[in-house]
Amino acid sequence: MIEIDVKHLENGLHHYSFEVNPEDIYIEEFENAHFRDKVRVEIALQKWSDDFTLEGEIFARSIIECSRCLTPCDLHFHLPIKLYFKRKLKLSESDEAINLTEDDLITLSYDESTIELDGRIRETLILGIPLKVLCSENCQGLCPMCGINLNEETCDCHSTVIDPRWEKLRQLSIQKS
């Protein structure tokens, strides 16, 4: 649970650092994105009266299989997060003037003593970590016939594979004769 106690927080800039066990932020979408190490969250929270500006960075390391050749890729992610909180009931006209939508501006009621960040961090990870990656732009993938990794080895399967377009023509000519 990542939360910041703002009950008696003084005005000014405050820094927080969290380390989260990957299991604690298990995300269904990431079935094959195995987190390595803990997910680290660095937060700078600026409080001024009823306004809170939160800027942070999420550091995560994840092992994701290349979607062509299935080689595990060790990826480091560095994702920014920025949120505004305001203690009040609803948006005012001045909030709209600086283009804050209900989504950007999170309302915090006066009796809430903590800012809870789990959901936002999970969301940032879901948007920031791709479900499919390539080990390299030129990844050759696996041979569809014998399954070897074509980045490491070669096989002579493709010489025996018939181009499907020619295969259709071949069948047509068989039917005609």
Residue 146, both tokens? 């014998």
Q: What is the closest distance, in whole angstroms, from the C-beta atom of residue 132 to Zn ion in the complex?
A: 11
Question: How far apart are the two ends of the chain, measured CA to CA in Å?
Answer: 73
DSSP string computed for 18-33: EEE-GGGG--GGGTTE
Residue 46 or 67: the one with the smaller Cβ distance to Zn ion is: 67
Q: Are strands 105-108 and 72-87 parallel, antiparallel or unpaired?
A: parallel
Give the shortest CB-148-to-Zn ion separation in angstroms. Answer: 6
- Among residues 27 and 143, whose Cβ is nearest to Zn ion? 143
Kindly tell me the burial class for residue 95, based on how many C-beta atoms sit within 10 Å of its own C-beta (0-12, 13-18, 19 or more).
middle
Burial class (CB in 10 A: 0-12, 13-18, 19+), 23: exposed
Task: List 49's β-bridge partners, or say none.
Answer: none
DSSP state of 49: T
CB of 71 to Zn ion, least distance (A): 5
Q: Kindly tell me which of 69 and 105 has the beta carbon lying closer to Zn ion.
A: 69
Measured from the CB atom, the residue of 69 and 83 that comes closer to Zn ion is 69
Q: How far is the CB of 134 from Zn ion (least distance, A)?
A: 6
Give the footprint of Zn ion on this chain (CB under 5 A): 66, 68-69, 135, 139, 143, 145-146, 155, 157
**CB of residue 161 vs Zn ion: minimum separation in angstroms?**
9
Name the pairing type of β-strands 3-5 and 114-116.
antiparallel
Q: Among residues 118 and 163, whose Cβ is nearest to Zn ion?
A: 163
